[in-house]
Amino acid sequence: MDTFKERVWSRREHWMAQLILALVGLGLVFFDVIWKGLGFQPLTVPIIGILEGLGTALFVAGTVSFGIEELIRGRTLITFEAKLRELLAATGDKLTSQIIHFLESYVVVLGQRIEELGKEVYGSNIKMIYSSRAKGLEEMASAIKEADNFVYVMGISLREFFQLETPCSAAIAEVYHERKDVKFKVLIFNNRSAEALERSSREEGIAFSSIDDPEYKSKTLFGETRETITNIRKYCSEIALRVYDSQSLFLLITDKTAFMEPYHYGNRVVGEPVLSRAPFLRRVAELVPLIEFTKATERGPYEQFFGHFEYVFDKAKEPTEENVRV
């Protein structure tokens, strides 16, 4: 920041330039008078008239600007600086103290909030929260590989596990073929249920007539669930596979940890393309976090999700040919 002395020196440079401008103008007028005294006239020597006009203009401009600078700007700067210094001297220490007090209070409150949040997370046996299921694929793949006794998976189409080339599909293939001591149970959304029809209608923006509607069977939900059922039957036939009628949660559970993501119908924005032209619902689903829970010694979220899976699996049924017939 410029000091007061530097600003005064800067002003000095300004008024010196203005003074020089006025003196140059005065000099030109002086030379014009001399030339005329020697008998030269503007009609015979055009530069004489030019010197007079230019000199007069420079003299007036320099004089006026010098006056404005000195009488208005200079005095205003000096007055403003003096008042500002008085104000800072009167309030500076108090203001600094108030700012420090505010920052200290904010840090204390923030620390308390973080501590409270940590206690809640720890008390809920939450190990990690991922912004989406896609962000947790590597961790879920590691959990599958580290399972000692079982791997349970529950979801709508489970394409990340039985269709696409992902860390999870690779982990399932590895454990399934190399470790027969690990048992698999899979629950997949029944594509011939009323709720599957409703979800597909929501995704596609189409009111289907029934679950046998050829247009419904040509859409994403029916096609992806059909492909998962086909792949499990073909490549992992020893996996215990069943279909369930009501969407609720995505679950991946091993004997050490559980991953959970809630399902939903999404929040359609007016003018948003439907799933057949853009993956609307899938993008919305990615905004919902995936939560990982550790197994606790007492009944916590892990135990609740384990009980939920077992209950639904016991009530569910094995897929039929109707689930894969187009």
For the chain, the structural domain boundaries read 4-118, 127-323
pLDDT tens for residues 117-171?
Answer: 666 655 678 889 898 888 899 999 999 999 999 999 999 999 999 999 999 999 9
Name the residue with higher pLDDT: 25 or 141.
141
In terms of pLDDT, which residue wins out, 19 or 277? 19
Cα(213)–Cα(232) distance, integer angstroms = 25
Above 60 in pLDDT, residue 2?
Answer: no
Evaluate if residue 177 carries a pLDDT over 70: yes
Task: Give domain 127-323's CATH number out of 3.90.180.10, 2.40.128.20, 3.30.870.10, 3.30.70.260.
Answer: 3.30.870.10
> What is the rounded average pLDDT for all residues in the chain?
77
Averaging pLDDT over each range in 13-17, 85-89, 99-103, 130-134, which range is the top one? Answer: 130-134
- pLDDT tens figures, 195-253: 999 988 888 888 899 999 999 999 999 999 999 999 999 999 999 999 999 888 999 99
The CA-CA-CA angle for residues 178, 180, 185, to 5°, reads 110
- DSSP for 130-144, please give it: ESSTGGGHHHHHHHH
pLDDT at 187 over 60: yes
Q: Across-strand partners of 184?
A: 151
Mean pLDDT within 305-313: 95
Distance CA 233, CA 217 (A): 20
More confident residue, 61 or 14: 61
The total of other beta-carbon atoms located within 10 Å of residue 178's CB is 8
pLDDT of residue 283: 43
